[in-house]
Chain A
Amino acid sequence: MATVSLTVNGKAVTANVDPRTLLVQLLRENLRLTGTHVGCDTSQCGACVVHVDGKAVKSCTTLALSLEGASVTTIEGLANGSALHPMQEAFREHHGLQCGYCTPGMIMAAVDIVNRRGNDLDEATIREDLDGNICRCTGYHNIVKAVAAGAEAMGKAPMRQAAE
């Protein structure tokens, strides 16, 4: 066992874990943050995407111990109390989901796209950058619409974006 200290959704966390523990296991099993999903467990599907120091990564392919001192944001860290994050709201509004399994990863990836590329996203950019997130239900049309709308909405809520 070994100890790791990091920040998760703004809160300091210290955990004693087996070195084999993946970030997604630390989140789900130790911290009970089960919004982050395991889909393929082989770093392809993106259901496990969270932000580490502001960048989207696949938490199924990251060792918990390698995150000493890091700041992690999960899907649970986006909303402000009962007020959804603009990207969450956009997924709801545009019905950017069917079963919902891929949705936390999609939303974390979408916020990462906005962080990297700004608020005015064209369809080609969104589709290209959602390359690492797979939806097996419904195709991507509404997801792409939701990301574009969410990106625009994030631009109109500068305070929220700064806080994220």
Chain B
Amino acid sequence: MYAFTYHRPATARQAAGLLAKKEDAKLLAGGHTLLPTMKQRLASPAHLVDLGACADLRGIERKGRNVVIGAMTTHAEVADSAIVKEAIPALAFLAGHIGDPHVRHRGTIGGSVANNDPAADYPSALLALGATVTTNKRKLTADEFFTGLYETALEEGEIITKVSFPVVSKAGYAKFRNPASRYALVGVFVAKRGSDVRVAVTGAGEGGVFRWPEAETALAGRFATKSLDGLKHKADGINGDIHADAEYRAHLIGVMAKQAVAQATGK
């Protein structure tokens, strides 16, 4: 790790001030991607702004038809939240299957979303549920927010403050995880909100998380696993690596989509 200056602001506002003032500053959330990256010297910020003491970035609340989760809320807190389990159980399930228990005690929703790792779990939930990302400057829909591999619409000096998830009638998440890293080889999140069905795929896309329109159309007709019979995702644009080639991952998309629908419908 290269040397850096450490900052520990108490509010998101102070953090934003530091981010604007210090050259080459990076935000530290749970640190479970950034610290290993810094150890490998693949990142070497001059200033590290730790959001760990910003109490205003934590917490989970139900606000009307939405569940609002503060950016620094940990995966364990989301997984164990009575509010999330009641309103969107698939989201609690997803959070409870990120990494391992120790990782879930530190990793945060804001950090995961801002990093937009192509194999991370949360981006698929945001995209399928039609979540809104609130920053210190504006609001972005999930469709606007995720722009590519490790890329988001976040600008310099912008801090995610919370993520708001609409409460849907049905939702499910299934992932085929890499047994060593626990990241998704393929993860599929399905959500039904009225007549609107959204299917988001993580782990598979060369450009990160994406929606699968053919499956959305098929499920909009009838929201059941049978509707996906015979539907295959093409292997073009799908990741291939030592863990799984593109053909295999493409096949897994269909399999995971069915499992996610089965979870959502309880069948």
Contact = CB atoms under 8 A, between A and B. Distances in A.
Interface string B21-36: 0000000100110011
Interface residues on A, range: 20 to 34
A24 to B, nearest CB: 12
B99 A132 contact: yes
A61 B101 contact: no
B232 interface: no
A41 B105 CA distance: 18
A49 B50 contact: no
Interface residues of B, number: 27
A26 to B, nearest CB: 14
Contact of A19 (B36, B48, B76): B48
A65 interface: yes
Nearest to A116: B101
Given A19-B48, A43-B32, A65 B101 contact: no
Contacts of A19: 3-6, 48
B36 A66 contact: no
A135 to B, nearest CB: 14
Given A2-B6, A42-B36, A44-B180, A63 B102 contact: no
A68 B53 contact: yes
Contacts of B28: 63, 66
A49 B31 CA distance: 15
A28 interface: no
Contact of B31 (A41, A44, A66, A109): A66
22 contacts: A19-B3, A19-B5, A20-B3, A20-B4, A41-B39, A46-B100, A46-B102, A55-B105, A58-B102, A61-B35, A61-B36, A62-B31, A62-B106, A63-B48, A65-B8, A65-B50, A66-B52, A68-B8, A116-B101, A131-B100, A131-B182, A132-B101
Interface of A: 2, 18-20, 22, 41-44, 46, 49, 52, 55-58, 61-63, 65-66, 68, 109, 112-113, 116, 129, 131-133
Interface of B: 1, 3-6, 8, 28, 31-32, 35-36, 39, 48, 50, 52-53, 76, 99-103, 105-106, 180-182
Given A19-B4, A66-B31, 5 more contacts: A43-B35, A58-B102, A61-B35, A109-B101, A129-B101
